Copies of this chain bind each other. A is one copy, B any other.
Protein backbone atom coordinates (compact mmCIF):
# COMPACT_ATOMS: atom_id res chain seq x y z
CA UNK A 1 0.00 0.00 0.00
CA UNK A 2 2.59 2.48 1.01
CA UNK A 3 4.48 1.30 -2.04
CA UNK A 4 1.47 2.27 -4.10
CA UNK A 5 1.33 5.61 -2.50
CA UNK A 6 4.91 6.28 -3.29
CA UNK A 7 4.79 5.04 -6.83
CA UNK A 8 1.47 6.62 -7.50
CA UNK A 9 0.34 3.50 -9.33
CA UNK A 10 -3.05 2.50 -8.04
CA UNK A 11 -5.54 -0.11 -9.03
CA UNK A 12 -8.79 1.05 -10.51
CA UNK A 13 -10.71 -0.48 -7.65
CA UNK A 14 -8.38 1.09 -5.20
CA UNK A 15 -8.89 4.49 -6.71
CA UNK A 16 -12.62 3.94 -6.41
CA UNK A 17 -12.35 3.09 -2.74
CA UNK A 18 -10.26 6.15 -2.07
CA UNK A 19 -12.79 8.33 -3.84
CA UNK A 20 -15.64 6.76 -1.92
CA UNK A 21 -13.90 7.24 1.39
CA UNK A 22 -13.07 10.84 0.59
CA UNK A 23 -16.67 11.51 -0.34
CA UNK A 24 -17.91 10.00 2.90
CA UNK A 25 -15.40 12.02 4.85
CA UNK A 26 -16.65 15.12 3.09
CA UNK A 27 -20.24 14.39 4.01
CA UNK A 28 -19.52 13.54 7.61
CA UNK A 29 -17.38 16.63 8.12
CA UNK A 30 -19.87 18.92 6.45
CA UNK A 31 -22.77 17.58 8.45
CA UNK A 32 -21.24 16.94 11.84
CA UNK A 33 -18.11 19.02 11.95
CA UNK A 34 -14.48 18.06 11.97
CA UNK A 35 -14.39 16.97 15.57
CA UNK A 36 -17.11 14.41 14.97
CA UNK A 37 -15.44 13.07 11.87
CA UNK A 38 -13.64 10.15 13.43
CA UNK A 39 -12.35 7.25 11.39
CA UNK A 40 -15.11 5.10 12.82
CA UNK A 41 -17.78 7.56 11.79
CA UNK A 42 -16.43 7.91 8.28
CA UNK A 43 -16.19 4.16 7.99
CA UNK A 44 -19.72 3.70 9.19
CA UNK A 45 -20.96 6.19 6.64
CA UNK A 46 -19.11 4.30 3.93
CA UNK A 47 -20.37 0.98 5.19
CA UNK A 48 -16.86 -0.31 5.75
CA UNK A 49 -14.64 -1.04 8.70
CA UNK A 50 -12.48 1.80 9.84
CA UNK A 51 -9.37 -0.25 9.25
CA UNK A 52 -10.13 -0.11 5.54
CA UNK A 53 -9.41 3.58 5.69
CA UNK A 54 -6.10 2.94 7.32
CA UNK A 55 -5.42 0.46 4.58
CA UNK A 56 -6.00 2.93 1.80
CA UNK A 57 -4.55 5.98 3.44
CA UNK A 58 -1.32 6.02 5.36
CA UNK A 59 -2.74 8.43 7.83
CA UNK A 60 -5.71 10.45 8.82
CA UNK A 61 -3.57 13.33 7.70
CA UNK A 62 -3.21 11.84 4.26
CA UNK A 63 -6.94 11.39 3.99
CA UNK A 64 -7.54 15.02 4.81
CA UNK A 65 -4.78 16.08 2.47
CA UNK A 66 -6.36 14.11 -0.34
CA UNK A 67 -9.75 15.49 0.52
CA UNK A 68 -8.45 19.01 0.18
CA UNK A 69 -6.55 18.15 -2.99
CA UNK A 70 -9.70 16.75 -4.54
CA UNK A 71 -11.74 19.75 -3.56
CA UNK A 72 -9.21 22.19 -4.90
CA UNK A 73 -8.98 20.33 -8.18
CA UNK A 74 -12.74 20.27 -8.54
CA UNK A 75 -12.97 23.95 -7.75
CA UNK A 76 -10.26 24.82 -10.22
CA UNK A 77 -11.81 22.80 -13.00
CA UNK A 78 -15.09 24.47 -12.26
CA UNK A 79 -13.76 27.98 -12.20
CA UNK A 80 -11.11 28.04 -14.87
CA UNK A 81 -13.28 27.96 -17.98
CA UNK A 82 -15.54 30.62 -16.50
CA UNK A 83 -12.57 32.89 -15.96
CA UNK A 84 -11.13 32.18 -19.39
CA UNK A 85 -14.44 33.05 -21.03
CA UNK A 86 -14.19 36.62 -19.80
CA UNK A 87 -11.87 38.96 -21.70
CA UNK A 88 -11.93 41.89 -19.30
CA UNK A 89 -10.63 42.07 -15.75
CA UNK A 90 -14.02 43.22 -14.49
CA UNK A 91 -15.60 40.28 -16.22
CA UNK A 92 -13.14 37.88 -14.67
CA UNK A 93 -13.74 39.32 -11.20
CA UNK A 94 -17.47 38.96 -11.64
CA UNK A 95 -17.02 35.45 -12.97
CA UNK A 96 -14.85 34.60 -10.01
CA UNK A 97 -17.49 35.66 -7.53
CA UNK A 98 -20.54 34.26 -9.27
CA UNK A 99 -18.71 31.15 -10.37
CA UNK A 100 -17.65 30.47 -6.83
CA UNK A 101 -21.21 30.87 -5.68
CA UNK A 102 -22.32 28.40 -8.29
CA UNK A 103 -19.59 26.02 -7.20
CA UNK A 104 -20.70 26.29 -3.61
CA UNK A 105 -24.26 25.54 -4.57
CA UNK A 106 -23.20 22.51 -6.53
CA UNK A 107 -20.60 21.14 -4.16
CA UNK A 108 -21.86 22.49 -0.86
CA UNK A 109 -20.61 19.70 1.34
CA UNK A 110 -17.23 19.65 -0.30
CA UNK A 111 -16.76 23.32 0.26
CA UNK A 112 -17.89 23.16 3.88
CA UNK A 113 -15.63 20.21 4.48
CA UNK A 114 -12.59 21.98 3.10
CA UNK A 115 -13.23 24.94 5.33
CA UNK A 116 -13.55 22.69 8.35
CA UNK A 117 -10.37 20.86 7.50
CA UNK A 118 -8.52 24.05 6.85
CA UNK A 119 -9.42 25.42 10.24
CA UNK A 120 -9.35 22.32 12.39
CA UNK A 121 -6.92 19.99 10.74
CA UNK A 122 -3.32 19.66 11.78
CA UNK A 123 -0.45 19.48 9.39
CA UNK A 124 2.30 16.86 9.50
CA UNK A 125 4.23 19.11 11.85
CA UNK A 126 1.34 19.10 14.26
CA UNK A 127 0.59 22.74 13.71
CA UNK A 128 -2.78 23.80 12.34
CA UNK A 129 -2.79 24.09 8.59
CA UNK A 130 -5.23 26.98 8.65
CA UNK A 131 -5.89 27.90 5.15
CA UNK A 132 -2.59 26.75 3.86
CA UNK A 133 -3.59 24.89 0.75
CA UNK A 134 -7.08 25.95 -0.16
CA UNK A 135 -6.86 29.65 0.30
CA UNK A 136 -3.47 29.97 -1.29
CA UNK A 137 -4.70 28.14 -4.31
CA UNK A 138 -6.15 30.85 -6.42
CA UNK A 139 -4.08 33.58 -4.97
CA UNK A 140 -1.65 33.81 -7.90
CA UNK A 141 -4.48 33.63 -10.41
CA UNK A 142 -6.40 36.41 -8.74
CA UNK A 143 -3.40 38.59 -8.33
CA UNK A 144 -2.50 38.08 -11.94
CA UNK A 145 -5.98 39.11 -13.04
CA UNK A 146 -5.95 42.21 -10.91
CA UNK A 147 -2.46 43.14 -11.93
CA UNK A 148 -3.23 42.78 -15.61
CA UNK A 149 -6.34 44.90 -15.15
CA UNK A 150 -4.25 47.62 -13.60
CA UNK A 151 -1.66 47.49 -16.36
CA UNK A 152 -4.33 47.71 -19.03
CA UNK A 153 -5.78 50.72 -17.25
CA UNK A 154 -9.07 48.99 -16.65
CA UNK A 155 -8.64 48.88 -12.88
CA UNK A 156 -7.50 51.56 -10.51
CA UNK A 157 -4.27 51.39 -8.56
CA UNK A 158 -4.72 49.43 -5.38
CA UNK A 159 -2.65 46.91 -3.46
CA UNK A 160 -3.13 43.78 -5.49
CA UNK A 161 -2.54 41.43 -2.58
CA UNK A 162 -5.06 43.14 -0.36
CA UNK A 163 -7.77 43.12 -2.97
CA UNK A 164 -7.04 39.55 -3.91
CA UNK A 165 -7.30 38.58 -0.28
CA UNK A 166 -10.59 40.37 0.10
CA UNK A 167 -11.98 38.70 -2.97
CA UNK A 168 -10.87 35.33 -1.76
CA UNK A 169 -12.37 35.59 1.67
CA UNK A 170 -15.53 37.11 0.24
CA UNK A 171 -16.23 33.87 -1.56
CA UNK A 172 -14.64 31.32 0.75
CA UNK A 173 -15.77 32.87 3.97
CA UNK A 174 -18.42 35.55 3.73
CA UNK A 175 -20.75 33.53 1.59
CA UNK A 176 -20.25 30.41 3.65
CA UNK A 177 -21.01 32.22 6.88
CA UNK A 178 -24.08 33.76 5.32
CA UNK A 179 -25.27 30.38 4.19
CA UNK A 180 -24.56 28.85 7.55
CA UNK A 181 -26.47 31.57 9.36
CA UNK A 182 -29.42 31.18 7.02
CA UNK A 183 -29.39 28.02 4.88
CA UNK A 184 -32.13 29.43 2.69
CA UNK A 185 -30.08 32.37 1.54
CA UNK A 186 -30.04 32.84 -2.23
CA UNK A 187 -26.38 32.47 -3.10
CA UNK A 188 -26.98 33.72 -6.61
CA UNK A 189 -28.25 37.13 -5.67
CA UNK A 190 -25.77 37.23 -2.81
CA UNK A 191 -23.00 36.79 -5.35
CA UNK A 192 -24.41 39.50 -7.60
CA UNK A 193 -24.37 41.93 -4.71
CA UNK A 194 -20.78 41.06 -4.00
CA UNK A 195 -19.84 41.36 -7.66
CA UNK A 196 -21.28 44.84 -7.81
CA UNK A 197 -19.37 45.88 -4.74
CA UNK A 198 -16.12 44.62 -6.20
CA UNK A 199 -16.78 46.26 -9.52
CA UNK A 200 -17.14 49.59 -7.78
CA UNK A 201 -14.15 49.01 -5.58
CA UNK A 202 -11.78 48.09 -8.38
CA UNK A 203 -12.75 50.02 -11.52
CA UNK A 204 -10.48 52.78 -12.62
CA UNK A 205 -12.77 55.73 -13.30
CA UNK A 206 -15.03 56.56 -10.41
Contact = CB atoms under 8 A, between A and B. Distances in A.
A155 to B, nearest CB: 11
B163 A169 contact: no
A78 interface: no
Interface of chain A, main secondary structure = helix
Given A3-B44, A206-B206, 19 more contacts: A35-B122, A36-B126, A116-B119, A116-B128, A120-B120, A136-B181, A159-B193, A162-B178, A162-B194, A165-B177, A165-B178, A166-B170, A166-B194, A166-B197, A168-B174, A168-B177, A169-B170, A173-B174, A201-B201
A198 interface: yes
Contact of A193 (B128, B162, B190): B162
Interface of A: 3, 32-36, 44, 116, 119-120, 122, 126-128, 130-131, 135-136, 158-159, 161-163, 165-166, 168-170, 173-174, 177-178, 180-181, 189-190, 193-194, 196-198, 200-202, 206
